[in-house]
Each structure stands twice: as structure tokens, then as C-alpha cells.
Structure 1
Amino acid sequence: MFFGSIPALVTPFSGGRVAEDTLQAFVEWQISEGSDGLVPCGTTGEVATLTSDEHRHVIATVVEAAKGRVPVIAGTGTYSTEHSIERTRAAADAGADAALIVVPYYNKPSQAGLAAHFLAIADASPLPVVVYNVPSRTVADISVETLAHIAKHPKIVAIKDATGNLGRVSAQRLACGEDFVQLSGNDDMALGFNAMGGVGCVSVSSNIAPKLCSEFQKATREGRWGDALKLQDKLYPLHAALFTDASPAPTKYALSRVRPGFPTEIRLPLVEASESSKQAVDAALEHAGLI
């Protein structure tokens, strides 16, 4: 269903507005370089700063540019169950193939609340649901037991796991079954994640290095672990550099280096990457042979 290198797309802005032409060209480049799917309107896409109209427009633009060649998994989760349902339905109307639903942030629901939230969305969703667990941002953490419970719903088919806990992969595999799709949410851990049963990564680094990230994922699928390790070593400094400042500022700077003219504009409360972050990104790009 979902596998491989799946970039969590940045949203390009120019003059305070979504740069539609840049986004379309970016999607075309991602697909031509081997990306296996696309995630618009995730954390890296600055979804928290998008208006409802912009949210729909970004998803529709990505769907149109993708032309069905790879699946589009649209970020539609919020801390409101009803709002998440509304956004998921809007994404379906825009042509998305699945919905990425983040664990609700800020209001710190219990495990019972998390289960009720995801099951309500799944009941109302026209799309398959990918759970997005990222406790470092949401504070709340969906447990293995709760995930196993909601994974029985036919619409809940996958997880993007950004817990940073590799043991979760085995625990979730045993609890949810081998057919439940596990995607890493951490580029730097994708090698170990796939070795333990994961099948891909919703990736920040693939914004910058889609071909290398695609080759890395293919190597793990084919069991070429030596090749995968070499690619991991090549990409690791980039994985680290893209988080030397608040994401996605370093990623947008990196894109301006590998795709000259790509806008680095970012929305408040985030600001553009610091000079030290830019230096780290430049060094990582050189290490990977990208500049």
C-alpha cells in the first residue's frame, strides 16, 4: 500500500502566498527522482500556519501534479476531532489517497480519548487513515495497546512512527499484525526501523535528496543492507543538519542550494535558518555530493 521514500513536502511561499508553480515543479521533480509517495500539509509543510482554503489548495495542487503516479497522503489531523473529520473529507474531495492524522496535540487526551478520536475519524473518513505519532511535538503518545485496538478498524491501515523508539516497531508488529504498515518518521533511524519490520519513511531529507533516499529505501527492501548502510552514512549528516534549527527552515535553505531560486520564505512564528544552521546544511550537502 504505502512504502519507500515518501517526502513530507515543504510548502513553498512567495510574498506570503503559496507558490503554486514552484509546488507543482517540486512535485514533478520528486516523482522523477524516485519518490514513492507524497505527504502535503504535514509538519514540514507548515500546516499549522495554513488557512483552510490554503490547506485544500495545497492538497489539490499536489494531487493534480502527481497525476496518480504515486499516492498522496494528506495531513489532515488537528486537536479537534470534528475539524479533523472536516479536513479529511476536504482532502478526499481534492483527490488525496489517504489521510495522515496526527495524535491530538495541546489538549493531552487519555488513551481512551485517543482511541475515540481516531475511531470517530475513521468512521467518517472516505480515505484510509495513517496514524501519526510524534510525542516530541504533541506531548500525547498513543500506546502500542491503543494502536492495536484502533488498527482493527478497516480504515486505519498504517502508522508514521516518530517516537524515536525502535523497539516500538517490533512491539507494534506483534500487536497489529504484519500487514499493518509501519513508516518511520525519523530519517536518521530509518535503517534500523526497516530492519525491524518497517517498510519506508515519511522523510524530511527526501525533500533535498529524493534520489538518494529512494535508493536507500530500495536497498532495504531488497535486503542489500551493505548498500543501505553506505547510503545511510552518506545521508546521515543531512538528516542531522535539517534539524539544527526549527524545521523546516533548514530544509528550505537546503532546497535553495540544490534547486536555485527555491524560496526560503517561512511563516511566523518560525523564522529563516540561522547562519550556523546554514553552515551545517552546506557541509552536509557537500558530504552527500549534492553541491
Structure 2
Amino acid sequence: MDHWLHGMFTALVTPFSAGALDEPSLLRLVDWQVREGADGIVLGSASGEYSTLTRNERIRLVRLARAAAGPGYPILAAAGSNSTADSIAEVKDAAAAGASAILLRLPYYNRPTQAGLVQHVLSVAETTSLPVIVDNDPDRCAVDLTPEALAEMAAHPAVVGVLERRGDIVRCDRIMRSCSRHFLRLTGAGDVIPPYIAAGGCGAVTSIGNLAPRLLRRIREACRAGAFEQAQTLQRRLIPLHGLLSREPDPVAVKLALSFQHSGVEPTCRLPLVAAQPSLAEELKYALDDLPRPVNGHAIAHRSAA
């Protein structure tokens, strides 16, 4: 049986208006993700502009999303900084606000050793009853977690999986051998989802899920049915959009595209992120035309996070 943390999770953007959280837009976006069949959402990731959010805003995001999604819908709170003590405080805030699980980013800037990474994750895991997924993002954190260090973390019952930002299928297999086949392996590389799942992965956390949650759900369903050729065909529909989104720092282009999909959602990011190049707008509109149209009517049933 699938774990409830298997599937396609959207690294949700944080909408702003006049410099503040745009709460009505956030509620609409969460509701749309549920109706379009996303298996869950992640709040406060890089796509959610974590580094520019205040502590109160991070808490508010989780509370609003929980109110919009309902009690059983999977909501992962991205938490963690280069201070272990601050990371523990963030995780406690997220749990109190209604998060289902924690996506724990590794320390950035201070570049700890593998032993330091292990101590950091285990120290945080000791303080929460929520499942913890380790976010291994070497491009942002400047350190790459080894499968051996990950195995030490996985010995703690709260540490249930890892998000690998790179779609390395060989490494996916190494992690299984170092930890266990039950240890959850998700990818953040939205362009290689079918091969990653074929290699033993259980899903993905993507920024492109903001724009195409239903198409990602179809990819997931095809993979689970063993129809990997069909999954690859569906994946190819996203290739043009992936290329366009990569032209700007995440989530600049995603927010611009969302403003075309959802009336009232502004493309605004907080500094130091600035507006996308004007030439990108028409190309994004063209790529969005190839995506499935939104579902009308009632929400797609979701699995309980209990």
C-alpha cells in the first residue's frame, strides 16, 4: 500500500499584493490544487520565497492552507535554516499551525560536514511528532548529503524520506540500498519524473505543479499502472514549459504564468527577485495552452493524512 506521502506535491508559490500576503489568492490557489488532484502541497519552499517571509507569515500560510484544504489534506511545511535552534522553533510553529509533515531543508551558507548534517536533522527530529522529509538541495546549500549520512538519519523513526532536488536515478537506487526500500524517495526534478519513479522513487515536489497539477496526477497514475511509455508521453508535454520557467529564478516565471491562469493573482515577487523579462510572457501563454483545462465541479477525493 502506498504511503500517504507518495505522489505529486506542489511547491506552492506565496502570492503577494501591495507587499503583503495576498490571503484571498492563497485560499483560491490551495482550493484549486485540491480540485485539480495534487496529492499535497508544500508551503514555504524556495518556490514560496521562504527567505523573504517573516515568522508570522510562515505560520499564517500553514493556517490558511489548512483552512482551505480541510483537515485531511497533506500539507508539508518547508522549514529549517542554518541554525539548528531556529529550525527546531520553525518546526514547532508549523506543527502547531496544522502541518501534516515537515520538509526539512539542510543548513545553507555555513556548509557543515556530513556529521554536522546528521546531528542537525536528528536534533530537529527529536522535537517533533510529525514525519520529516529531508530536503537535499546541494545547489542552494553548497553541501550534498551522502547516502551513508542519510542512512544515519533514517534510523530515527521520524525521518521517513528524502527529497532529492536532482533527478539522479543511480543515486535513487543507492539511497534504497543504504536505507531501505520503504524509505521515501521524492525528486525535485520535474522533468524526469517517470524514470525516477521507475528507479524506485515515490513521487515529486515541483514548482511546475503550480501550473499543471492535473497533468502531473496523470503522470503519477500512469507510472503506478506500469504504463511508463504513456507517462513519458505526458511528461513531454511539460518540456516546453520547463524550459521557459528555467529562464528566471524560481518562482518568477511561475508567478507570471499563474497570473495568466488565475484572475487576481499578481506576478509580484519580493526583492531581490524582480519581474520577468517582457518577452517571456507570450511564450508562457502559448505553452500554457497545451495544458489540460481545469476540472469543473467537485474536488477530486484525496487521501487522508491521518
Q: With structure 2 as the length reference, what TM-score do the two structures score?
A: 0.92
SS at match of 1:43: coil
**Corresponding letter in the other structure for 1:92:** A
Residue 289 of structure 1, CA deviation: 5.8
SS at match of 1:159: strand
Q: Which residue of 2 aligns with 1:72?
A: 75
Q: Which residue of 1 aligns with 2:250?
A: 247
Which blocks of at least 5 consecutive residues in structure 2 are unaligned? 295-306
Deviations, residues 16-74 of structure 1 (Å, cap 9, x unaligned): 01011110111011000000011011110001100011011011111111112421110
**Corresponding letter in the other structure for 2:235:** Q
Query: Is residue 44 of structure 1 aligned with residue 47 of structure 2?
Result: yes
SS at match of 1:29: helix
SS at match of 2:148: helix
Query: Is residue 219 of structure 1 aligned with residue 222 of structure 2?
Result: yes
Structure 2 CA distance for aligned equivalents of residues 221 and 62 of structure 1: 28
Alignment of 1:34-183 (within 5 A): 34-183=37-186
Structure 2 CA distance for aligned equivalents of residues 191 and 275 of structure 1: 33
Q: Which residue of 1 aligns with 2:5?
A: 2
**Corresponding letter in the other structure for 2:222:** A
Residue 279 of structure 1, CA deviation: 4.1
Shift >4 Å, 4+ stretches: none
CA contact (8 A) 1:33 1:211 kept: yes
**Corresponding letter in the other structure for 2:85:** E
Deviations, residues 170-222 of structure 1 (Å, cap 9, x unaligned): 11011111111111111012121111001111011110011111111111112
Residue 168 of structure 1, CA deviation: 1.1
CA contact (8 A) 1:89 1:125 kept: yes
Structure 1 CA distance for aligned equivalents of residues 282 and 134 of structure 2: 35
The structure whose RCO (Cα within 8 Å, separation 6+) is larger is 2
Structure 2 CA distance for aligned equivalents of residues 236 and 290 of structure 1: 18
CA contact (8 A) 1:89 1:126 kept: no
**Corresponding letter in the other structure for 2:25:** T
Which blocks of at least 5 consecutive residues in structure 1 are unaligned? none
Structure 2 CA distance for aligned equivalents of residues 131 and 277 of structure 1: 33
SS at match of 1:245: coil
Residue 288 of structure 1, CA deviation: 3.5
The 10-residue stretch of structure 1 (39-48 or 210-219) with the greater mean CA deviation from structure 2: 210-219
Alignment equivalent of 1:32, drawn from 22, 32, 35: 35
Structure 1 CA distance for aligned equivalents of residues 135 and 196 of structure 2: 15
Identity of aligned residues (%): 38
Structure 2 CA distance for aligned equivalents of residues 220 and 93 of structure 1: 35
SS at match of 1:38: strand
Structure 1 CA distance for aligned equivalents of residues 292 and 144 of structure 2: 37
Q: Which residue of 1 aligns with 2:239?
A: 236
Q: Which residue of 2 aligns with 1:269?
A: 272
CA contact (8 A) 2:25 2:264 kept: no
CA contact (8 A) 1:56 1:90 kept: yes
Structure 2 CA distance for aligned equivalents of residues 196 and 275 of structure 1: 39
- RMSD (Å) for aligned C-alpha atoms: 1.4
Deviations, residues 143-185 of structure 1 (Å, cap 9, x unaligned): 1110011101000001111034221111101111111111111
**Distance 1:75-1:38 versus aligned 2 partners, 3 A rule:** same
Higher helix share: 1
Q: With structure 1 as the length reference, what TM-score do the two structures score?
A: 0.96
Residue 120 of structure 1, CA deviation: 0.3
Structure 2 CA distance for aligned equivalents of residues 109 and 24 of structure 1: 38
**Corresponding letter in the other structure for 1:218:** E
**Corresponding letter in the other structure for 1:155:** A
